[in-house]
Structure 1
């Protein structure tokens, strides 16, 4: 039985006992009073009757006449005249009169009519005694009315006390509920504060937990600041503030290989020309300012394309990864003009630009080779020359626009032209933690099953991500029921905002309760940044089914994600670029270790995506990562 229910029962019991006790005490006090009054009445009547009989001179006829007259004028149960020897000389007895009160009340609260006795004499001679017993019918009527009035007043008082008690208990329940919810939140890795209740006992508990939550917040802030500092050292060029070569190439590799990255994109290379002459003429400090200005300009949008990441490959070469948005030529012409205007204060400095299109699945070396060749051609043309390698995208989707794409995806879903891939996530002992299962769709009947990098933009534009994700979850549950292996399904953040999606997801989990406990779902890191309340609600909705919720592709903005403290997530998967090239790189290893420690401090399991090199695994496990996936890991 819950504590609040016990408090309610205690309050109700006290009110009922107090009111009932008050009624009982009042009734019994009134009964005693009425019995005393009835006894006094009997005694007075006996004295009056004895005086009347004493004046009859002892004549039997007169005595009987006077006694009968008295009996007929009052409500008497009996009147007896006894001789001096105790024998009854004259007696009048009336039948019992039913009282004006319920029979159960009469039986529970009997009223005794004690006889009144007085001596009868004639002169100095004692004739005997008279005994008078009155009917208690009126006493019962008065007692019943008194009991009704008392009961009504006690009922009103009890209801008032109950109302006040309800208000007090509800205040206690809200205060206690807040403390309980905070305690439950802590068990769910949600570190939330609550207002301190007025009750001193609960206030001490709430204050203690708030202090602990505040300590966790402070520890997270300190670790996040440390991780941000380590990230700055490990990933960024100290002069320009953009990514250095190894981090940029790791990000490029991630975009090329990620299942749900971009299907196609552009690689922009920019080379600062005449840098040696500028350094000799303007000086080292002014040249550094020129490079910083160039890095800042490269971080600006190129036409309608916002750079995904900007990097410095060497002293004079910069690069940017751009999504394919709009026409490339017009955007590059305007961007080149921005570069010319922005670098005008640095006399003699110029740039050459090249842009190549890459497709999902290509090798980094092949893309860089094309970009370098195109940049060489641009450099040969002179200052501010721009060379575009025009390559069409073989996987742009079906012609015909959104309606055609929608029909193609719907047909693939209806005909079950989908498949879940399986990439094992293992711990340091090689034990399977779960299978990561990205969804692939056969957009054209008989064609290849393509990765999310190709179909996800189409699904987003046509508003079909919820249908795709729902099918992926059903496939994952069915696969778990077949072999019992835990699996993790990727969900699009857009699906969480689709009407009824979470409700349908809960229904599927309820129908497959056994498999649901071995299922995990993953959301992109951006979901927690854009809509933390939605992510937190998803965690609370799925927790009763035992389904775990995690973030994937995390790392770039992880230290700034304060909602991590209140989301209730179960695990975080760090993006593959954080684990590439760890071997021999102490700064990147320190960053990974600091990130893992920060997440462990919040009770979150930490996994690393896309480990490609066996030489990196020892550093991955040394950094404290709980699990890893990628070509380099194997299930033992």
Structure 2
């Protein structure tokens, strides 16, 4: 279903660029898990460097110390073996004396073994099997082996005795092990102290990056901050680039905001007179007619003024003269509206102006004020002017259907035109129908229509810009009191009564039936209220399962404003319908389009640009640029872009040049060959 009033532009128009910045923020849901921090990486690097340095130091120092010890012990062994050889050579002492000498050497000189042979027999053998108190792997890795030093004594040129001495390396190996442990400990302490000190130091050095991150978060939230230039020169290019980006984004969004604000006013107001236009006035009228539950009906007055034979005035006064007349009339009516709070003056179309006065219960008072204000224009435009300005007025009560009120007002205007003298006519107060001025009346009427299947679809074509049929759009109509009411009349009441899910399901069944019968794609309007009902989504899935072939040709569209208010419910609806091949779209789009960029991945297929952006597009460059931007953004995320409310042929041609994918409106006609 569609609420026509929701298509009118409102004061909440916001820049799509600003919305996209928020979408960019939502896109981070796909980011990977955070990895190791920079401080942890640097600390790991310090540990690796410390281990590398330790291994390098040990690889250089241990072999050098081992070789030095080997040379020292070899020299020590040679001296000892020479001493023993001299003792023996000056006269073979007693064996007891030699043993005593060997024991002394071993006790004081750390010898592993001393062997003395004489005449082929072993005279002295002393061995020390002490093992170094170090890990076996260290001993093996050090590989410190000292070969025994041997001296041979001759007698009559014949070998008489031999002496062999080998130093004990255990003490040296233990000393090297202690030095290695001390070196390792110092490296570990140094690495630990460095890692501890790196934390505060790096945090201090990386403060500019924290500021940049805060600046980026502020950009997402549309806050534009500047970061001071840091002392670390490596960060200066990054800081300068981010500051430049923030300044440019601020300037761009400020310019867009001004442009969108101007476009918002332009879309909601008449370009010539500056008064609110028809869509904007209908929004205000709907708000005035709304009846709060439990409150008494309020009454007010509504008057319409028509510039009769405007085409003739254009010919007689010229374009500029006719425009001046319209501007003068608008100024006088604006003065009438400014006389009391809550009043509104608007221009409905080229020749019709309207004044809403909630403060006046008697329409006669309003018509008198209008007639008095307009009479001041006689001096400017001639005495015959009043005959060209018929005025009709009506009393209204809150809760009265807008369509019925406007029909009564048209009757009053027709009566005023019929007199030909510019006299105001007021519709009979008895025609204010109270039967539908409360919730109970609308509940009975809507339930009766649903029970009697008095619901229908009024189909309108949606064509591609080349004229091919995309689908038949089917707004819902409900029969009440022998009148077919459009969605703008009954949807507000149905939402308050909780009946929109039933009405939407009834429209869905009619659409699926039409598809099954005629094999033509049909588009159904779904209200945001129904979307949020879990039971509705389940019932919708059941209907689609019952008509799988028709479901593949079904187009479902929801109002942009309702979707933006509950993106989670819209995602759930998209996920529920995606298996059936339905096409999901958003109607009345444009004001909140930036928030919809992240929805194409759940099944969003198309958007329909609000009619407020389409009217008079061919002659309005601001509107044209805005629609071009919407098309570019929509196509960038793979969406079809359709323009709604195309009422003029020149706008239709301009939309084809812009690059929209489809159009609908009174200027769009289905070729006979395509008619279902």
TM range (shorter): 0.5 to 0.7
1:143 and 2:177 correspond: no
2:271 to 221, 226, 236: 236
* d(CA) in 2 for partners of 1:433, 1:82: 115
Distance 2:198 2:412 in 1: 83
Q: CA deviation at 1:628?
A: 0.7
- The counterpart of 1:19, out of the listed 50, 53, 56, is 50
User: Structure 1 residues 453 and 468 mapped into 2: Cα distance closer, same or farther (>3 Å)?
Assistant: farther
Q: Once the 2 structures are TM-superposed, how far is the Cα of residue 525 of structure 1 from its aligned partner?
A: 5.4
- Matching residue of 1:392: 432
What runs of 5+ residues in structure 1 fail to find an aligned partner?
529-534, 556-573, 580-585
1:355 corresponds in structure 2 to 393
- Return the match for 1:95 from 120, 129, 149: 129
CA-to-partner distance for each residue in 1:585-620, whole Å, 9 max, x for gaps?
A: x747x7765554454465666532234678975565
- 1:240-267 superposed Cα distances (whole Å, 9 cap, x missing partner): 4347xxx75x989x989x9x99999986
1:370 alignment counterpart: 411
The answer to which structure, 1 or 2, has the higher relative contact order (CA under 8 A, 6+ apart) is 2
Describe the shift of the 1:251–1:303 C-alpha distance in structure 2 as closer, same or farther (beyond 3 A): closer
Correspondence 1:276-425 to 2 at 5 A = 291=329, 293-297=331-335, 300=338, 304=342, 306=344, 309-311=346-348, 313-314=350-351, 318-320=353-355, 322=356, 329=361, 353-356=391-394, 359=401, 369-375=410-416, 387-390=426-429, 391-392=431-432, 396=436, 399-400=439-440, 425=462
1:451 to 484, 487, 495: 487
Q: Is the 8 A contact 1:420 1:440 kept in 2?
A: yes
Which of 535, 549, 553 is 2:610 aligned to? 553
SS of equivalent residue, structure 1 residue 99: coil
Whether the 8 Å CA contact 1:270–1:352 is kept in 2: the answer is yes
Q: Distance in 2 between matches of 1:85 and 1:409?
A: 135
Whole-Å separation in 1 of the counterparts to 2:485 and 2:343? 28
Q: Is the Cα–Cα contact under 8 Å of residues 15 and 161 in structure 1 kept in the other structure?
A: no
The alpha-carbon distance between structure 1 residues 84 and 359, as it changes in their structure 2 partners (threshold 3 A), is farther
Taking the aligned partners of 1:343 and 1:261, their CA distance within structure 2 comes to: 25
2:576 aligned with 1:520: no
**Residue-by-residue CA offset, 1:118-145 (whole Å, 9 max, x unaligned):** 97999xx997563313212443344234
Cα 1:293/1:19, change in 2 over 3 Å: same
3-state SS in 1 of match to 2:432: coil
Partner of 2:129, secondary structure, is coil
Q: TM-score, normalised by structure 2?
A: 0.57
CA distance in 1 between partners of 2:478 and 2:101 (Å): 119
- Structure having the larger proportion of residues in helix: 2
Mapping of residues 559-574 of structure 1, within 5 Å: 574=613
Task: Report the 3-state secondary structure (helix = DSSP H, G, I; strand = E; otherwise coil) of the residue aligned with 2:274.
Answer: coil
Determine which of 141, 150, 154 is the counterpart of 2:191: 154
Cα distance in structure 2, aligned partners of 1:207 and 1:633? 53
> What is the CA deviation profile of residues 455-484 of structure 1, one whole-angstrom value per residue up to 9, with x for unaligned ones?
225636989975423357777777777332
Q: 1:429 aligns with which of 441, 466, 470?
A: 466
Map of 2:558 onto structure 1:
490
The answer to whether the 8 A contact 1:425-1:629 is kept is yes
Equivalent positions of 1:55-134 (< 5 A) are 59=93, 60-72=95-107, 78-81=112-115, 90-95=124-129, 97=131, 99-101=133-135, 109-114=141-146, 128=163, 130-134=165-169
Q: Report if the CA contact (8 A) 1:427-1:626 is conserved.
A: yes
Structure-2 change in CA distance of 1:437 and 1:285 (3 Å): closer
Change (3 A) 1:2 1:219: same
Cα distance in structure 2, aligned partners of 1:32 and 1:199? 46
Checking the alignment, whether the CA contact within 8 Å between 1:50 and 1:129 is kept in structure 2 is: yes
Distance 1:170 1:463 in 2: 58
For residues 97 and 474 of structure 2, what CA distance do their matches in structure 1 show? 120
After superposition, the C-alpha distances for 1:12-70 in whole angstroms (9 at most, x for unaligned) are 88556423312311333452355256446635754775587456875343333232234
What is the alpha-carbon distance in structure 1 between the residues aligned to residue 265 and residue 343 of structure 2?
A: 29
Please list, as runs of the form range in 1=range in 2, the aligned pairs for 1:138-287 lying within 5 A after superposition.
138-154=175-191, 157=194, 199=235, 235-237=270-272, 240-242=273-275, 268-270=303-305
Partner of 1:627: 662
Residue 568 of structure 1 corresponds to which residue in structure 2? none
SS at match of 1:489: strand
For residue 304 of structure 2, give the secondary structure of its aligned residue in structure 1.
strand
CA distance in 1, matches of 2:404, 2:118: 135
In 2, distance between residues paired with 1:99 and 1:343? 118
Alpha-carbon distance between aligned partners in 2 of 1:450 and 1:289, rounded to the nearest angstrom: 33
2:22 alignment counterpart: none
Distance across 2 between alignment mates of 1:89 and 1:410: 129
Q: Deviations over 1:49-100 (max 9, x none)?
A: 5587456875343333232234345765x23346799998644333352634
Query: Which structure 2 residue ranges, 5 or more long, are not aligned?
Result: 1-30, 155-159, 292-299, 381-385, 501-526
Contact kept in structure 2, 1:418 and 1:440, CA below 8 Å: yes
Residues 457-536 of structure 1: matches in 2 within 5 Å?
459=495, 467-471=529-533, 482=548, 483-485=551-553, 487-491=555-559, 493=561, 496-497=564-565, 501-514=566-579, 518-522=583-587, 528=592, 536=594
The answer (yes or no) to whether the contact 1:523–1:552 under 8 Å persists in 2 is yes
Shift of residue 451, structure 1, vs aligned partner: 2.0
Aligned partners of 1:615, 1:408: CA distance in 2, in Å? 42
1-side partners of 2:649 and 2:149: how far apart?
A: 118
CA deviation after TM superposition for structure 1 residue 294, in Å: 0.8
> What residue is the counterpart of 1:35 in the other structure?
66
Q: Secondary structure at the match of 1:329?
A: coil
CA deviation vs aligned residue, 1:213-269 (integer Å, no higher than 9, x gap): 79987996898799799989x9533xx4347xxx75x989x989x9x9999998621
Compared with structure 1, are the counterparts of its residues 139 and 372 closer, same or farther at alpha carbon in structure 2 (3 Å cutoff)? same
CA drift at 1:448: 8.1
Moved more, 195-204 or 607-616: 195-204
Partners in 1 of 2:327 and 2:577 — Cα distance? Answer: 61
Distance 1:301 1:110 in 2: 107
